[in-house]
Amino acid sequence: MGDLPLSIAISALIKDNKILLIKRKKGDYVGLLGLPGGKIEKGEHVGEAAVREILEESGIACEFRNHLGFVSEHLVENGEVSNHFLLHVCELEPKSAEITAGSEGSVAWFDLGKIEEWKSLLIPSDYLMIKKLVLNHEKNYYDCVIVKNDADYEIKKFE
């Protein structure tokens, strides 16, 4: 584990009641769908990082709209915290819906009205972020603990 938590900007990009998701192909949560995003770089503000990451991962140009919330996420493997992510959940406004890139994984639009149907395909914490922060506008800070056993991820805490 690195010495410091990773500061990550992730984005809820919504157009016509669909949300943009990426199927992870590297790092943690490989093979699962999640909100697109990535590390906040030195000298970069949260909103700038969110806009840059969406452009890199999907080719979609966006504008920052709102900071929806913050999640401190511990990923636990073999009884120890293997990763600690500080997740800034941002709301962005897409300037188009056309996906032209996808270097970090395949990117697609998913119907928000059918979130329960694709829950099993989602990173467990991303499902809860979409449900609580994006759809229900619940509180804007959560502590999260996810335990990884082999290829399974289980939420132990999200409060």
Average pLDDT, the chain: 92
E strands of the chain, at which residues?
A: 6-15, 18-24, 33-34, 37-39, 62-77, 80-94, 105-111, 141-149, 152-158
pLDDT at 1: 45
pLDDT at residue number 2: 52
- Provide mean pLDDT across the span 91-102: 86
6-158 belongs to CATH 3.20.20.100? no
Q: Where are the domains of the chain?
A: 6-158
pTM: 0.91
- Tell me if 60 sits within 8 A of 99, measured CB to CB: yes
